[in-house]
Protein backbone atom coordinates (compact mmCIF):
# COMPACT_ATOMS: atom_id res chain seq x y z
CA UNK A 1 0.00 0.00 0.00
CA UNK A 2 1.39 3.37 -0.96
CA UNK A 3 1.10 6.41 1.25
CA UNK A 4 1.28 9.02 -1.51
CA UNK A 5 -2.41 9.98 -1.46
CA UNK A 6 -2.86 10.35 2.30
CA UNK A 7 -1.96 14.06 2.62
CA UNK A 8 -4.59 14.94 0.01
CA UNK A 9 -7.13 12.69 1.71
CA UNK A 10 -6.47 14.31 5.07
CA UNK A 11 -6.76 17.76 3.47
CA UNK A 12 -10.12 16.83 1.90
CA UNK A 13 -11.39 15.51 5.24
CA UNK A 14 -10.29 18.65 7.11
CA UNK A 15 -11.83 20.99 4.53
CA UNK A 16 -15.08 19.00 4.40
CA UNK A 17 -15.39 18.95 8.19
CA UNK A 18 -14.59 22.66 8.32
CA UNK A 19 -17.24 23.49 5.71
CA UNK A 20 -19.72 21.21 7.49
CA UNK A 21 -18.98 22.91 10.83
CA UNK A 22 -19.49 26.34 9.27
CA UNK A 23 -22.74 25.32 7.59
CA UNK A 24 -23.88 23.68 10.85
CA UNK A 25 -23.29 26.94 12.71
CA UNK A 26 -25.50 28.86 10.28
CA UNK A 27 -28.26 26.24 10.38
CA UNK A 28 -27.62 24.07 7.29
CA UNK A 29 -27.09 20.58 8.69
CA UNK A 30 -24.92 17.83 7.12
CA UNK A 31 -24.61 19.45 3.69
CA UNK A 32 -20.96 18.58 2.98
CA UNK A 33 -20.48 15.82 5.56
CA UNK A 34 -20.87 12.88 3.12
CA UNK A 35 -17.94 14.24 1.07
CA UNK A 36 -15.50 13.14 3.77
CA UNK A 37 -16.34 9.49 3.09
CA UNK A 38 -15.63 9.59 -0.68
CA UNK A 39 -11.84 9.03 -0.42
CA UNK A 40 -12.43 5.92 1.68
CA UNK A 41 -14.73 4.19 -0.84
CA UNK A 42 -11.74 2.52 -2.49
CA UNK A 43 -11.09 0.54 0.71
CA UNK A 44 -14.57 -1.01 0.75
CA UNK A 45 -14.72 -4.41 -0.82
CA UNK A 46 -17.67 -4.66 -3.18
CA UNK A 47 -18.64 -8.18 -4.15
CA UNK A 48 -18.94 -8.53 -7.92
CA UNK A 49 -22.22 -9.95 -9.08
CA UNK A 50 -21.83 -13.54 -10.21
CA UNK A 51 -22.81 -14.16 -13.82
CA UNK A 52 -24.69 -17.39 -14.35
CA UNK A 53 -23.97 -18.96 -17.73
CA UNK A 54 -26.80 -21.06 -19.12
CA UNK A 55 -26.75 -23.43 -22.10
CA UNK A 56 -29.65 -23.50 -24.51
CA UNK A 57 -31.34 -26.91 -24.61
CA UNK A 58 -32.34 -26.44 -28.26
CA UNK A 59 -29.19 -25.27 -30.03
CA UNK A 60 -26.45 -25.63 -27.36
CA UNK A 61 -25.34 -21.97 -27.38
CA UNK A 62 -24.26 -20.61 -24.00
CA UNK A 63 -25.58 -17.25 -22.82
CA UNK A 64 -25.80 -15.24 -19.61
CA UNK A 65 -29.25 -13.81 -20.44
CA UNK A 66 -32.75 -15.15 -20.02
CA UNK A 67 -33.22 -16.06 -23.68
CA UNK A 68 -30.99 -17.72 -26.26
CA UNK A 69 -29.65 -15.07 -28.69
CA UNK A 70 -29.68 -17.56 -31.58
CA UNK A 71 -33.08 -19.25 -31.38
CA UNK A 72 -34.97 -17.28 -28.70
CA UNK A 73 -35.63 -20.24 -26.40
CA UNK A 74 -36.21 -19.33 -22.75
CA UNK A 75 -33.20 -20.40 -20.65
CA UNK A 76 -33.96 -21.86 -17.25
**pLDDT at residue 64 in the model:** 87
Rg (CA), the chain: 24
Range of the domain at 60: 46-76
pLDDT digits (tens, 9 = 90+) for 15-28: 878 887 887 888 87
pTM above 0.95, yes or no: no
* Residue-level pLDDT, tens digit, the chain, 76 residues: 456 667 877 888 888 788 878 878 888 776 655 666 777 777 777 777 788 888 888 888 888 888 888 888 888 7
Considering the domain architecture, whether residues 40 and 15 belong to the same structural domain is answered as yes
Burial class (CB in 10 A: 0-12, 13-18, 19+), 68: buried
Considering the domain architecture, whether residues 57 and 26 belong to the same structural domain is answered as no
Considering the domain architecture, whether residues 73 and 57 belong to the same structural domain is answered as yes
DSSP collapsed to 3 states, the chain: CCCCCHHHHHHHHHHHHHHHHHHHHCCCCCCCHHHHHHHHHHHCCCCCCCCCCEECCCCCCEECCCECCCCCCECC
**pLDDT at residue 72 in the model:** 86
Considering the domain architecture, whether residues 38 and 55 belong to the same structural domain is answered as no
Considering the domain architecture, whether residues 35 and 4 belong to the same structural domain is answered as yes
Amino acid sequence: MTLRGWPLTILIVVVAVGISAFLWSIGIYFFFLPIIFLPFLKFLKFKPQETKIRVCSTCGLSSDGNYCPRCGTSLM
